[in-house]
Amino acid sequence: MSSSADMPAAVDLAIHARWVVQETRVLLEQHAVIVAGGRIVDILPGHQARERYAPEETLELDEHLLIPGLINLHTHAAMSLLRGVADDMPLMQWLKARVWPLEAALMSPRFVAEGTELACAEMLKGGVTCFNDMYFFPDAAAQAAVNIGMRAVLGVTMLEFPSAYASDAADYLDKGLAAREAWREHPLVRFCLAPHAPYSVSDASFERVQTLAAQLDLPIHLHIHETAEEIRFHLEEHGCRPLHRLDRLGLLGPQLIGVHAVHLLDDEIATLARNNCNIAHCPASNLKLGSGFAPLAELLEAGVNIGLGTDGAASNNRLDVLSEMRLASLLAKGASGDARCLPAWRALDMATINSARALGMEEEIGSIAIGKRADLVAVRMDALALSPCFDPVSHLVYAAGREDVSHVWVEGCCRVLDKMLLHSEKTSSLKNCARLWQNRVSAYLKPDAS
């Protein structure tokens, strides 16, 4: 007669996969990931898992690669409702002639809620389980992310000029911090401080951000050195380049997530590395806005932690971190002349553990490890375009696409099943919602249309 100690342990979920990416350059074959209470409790060979555990649900993914949930380190999720309305413009024209006027006319909690939910659906289906957002009405964005079951880090956004959301920098901060307080107990929602950029935020506001970041232990998420025009403007206005000013104000450190970082001098790269700053690299947006090529090889060589972001759908126009991995790797190789510059494994790290580290969440997400939250993605690797498969991580970065993502879990809960968003009724409602906003945006773009 067997004792209770010999009985298989009850757990929520066992995922048996052909390959499991456990950590950097560790690829397990025919292993199972065991989930209970939203966390990973074991990783072991499949035959051992069948002996030791009695899962409520078992998934056999015989032709799949299981990876950590992808993390979008920089986006403006609600701007999915403005996808394609401001194409083929440089950044400042894009902002001043199209985006800011549209936001002034359309911005509301409903715009943010519905745009964010649409973005979350797109990201989840592409294997993104967490996004770092910078936008307005973070209460509405938080509710949208929770409605669809996605992890979100929401910005306490700050600008000096008024919007439909806030009247001045102090009002932006106060409202953002109130939203943080309202959501601070929710397991899927976190916040960061998000001063927009050096050209749109004053010294006094940056000083308050630096104080709050230290007091509340929050990341600081801001655009930095995106265009040459931005730097010229900053030199005229402040007499120095943006990074020098941020350094003088005490903002450089491991809490900083600098977005874009396209135009950097050698000493600025060294400054970022010395201060353990993080960079959110957005290659597709940088290219589409004509901003330039970030010095990725030099940043990597200096040891700067680099994650991947998409930027918003109005400037990319895809919220597709898988495609950003491929583009980042190819651009780094081409710009540096070194095919070894950004190998597939390192690109995957940028989309997972590096981005988690930038957010201060590397102990919770970003890799498949015992004790971490079960944010997981299965990618089916047996499509004709992926056959034969000699190296699944290479295929993930250079050959696969978001259409190959089959399953997505956030905190152990399935959000995408066999490529279908759960719950499927959301898909039709989101499409209807997008059509309504298309009509509103189109009416504003063509006010004389009948």
Examine the pLDDT at 447 and tell me if it is beyond 90: no
How does residue 425 score in pLDDT terms, banded at 50, 70 and 90?
low
**Straight-line distance from the first to the last Cα atom of the chain, in angstroms, rounded to the nearest whole number:** 81
Cα–Cα distance for residue pair 352/257, rounded to 1 Å: 15
How does residue 317 score in pLDDT terms, banded at 50, 70 and 90?
very high
- Helices and strands per DSSP (H, E), number in the chain: 17, 16
pLDDT per residue as tens digits for the range 177-224: 999 999 999 999 999 999 999 999 999 999 999 999 999 999 999 999
pLDDT per residue as tens digits for the range 10-68: 999 999 999 999 877 899 999 999 999 999 999 999 999 999 999 999 999 999 999 99
Across residues 260-285, what is the average pLDDT? 98
pLDDT per residue as tens digits for the range 219-257: 999 999 999 999 999 999 999 999 999 999 999 999 999
pLDDT of amino acid 448: 45
Please state, for a pLDDT cut of 90, what percent of the chain lies above it.
Answer: 90
Across residues 358-382, what is the average pLDDT? 98
pLDDT of amino acid 170: 97
Please state, for a pLDDT cut of 70, what percent of the chain lies above it.
Answer: 97
How does residue 333 score in pLDDT terms, banded at 50, 70 and 90?
very high
Query: Structure tokens of 450?
Result: 């009948």
* Residue 298 burial (CB count, 10 A): 17
Pairing, β 26-36 against β 39-45: antiparallel
What domains sit in the chain, N to C, each tagged with a CATH number? 4-68+369-418 (2.30.40.10), 70-358 (3.20.20.140)
How does residue 450 score in pLDDT terms, banded at 50, 70 and 90?
very low
How does residue 91 score in pLDDT terms, banded at 50, 70 and 90?
confident
Across residues 357-361, what is the average pLDDT? 98
Examine the pLDDT at 2 and tell me if it is beyond 60: no
pLDDT of amino acid 24: 74
Examine the pLDDT at 118 and tell me if it is beyond 50: yes
DSSP H/E element including 333: helix 321-336
pLDDT of amino acid 23: 77
What beta strand segments (E) does 95-233 contain? 128-133, 151-158, 189-195, 220-224
Pairing, β 128-133 against β 53-68: unpaired
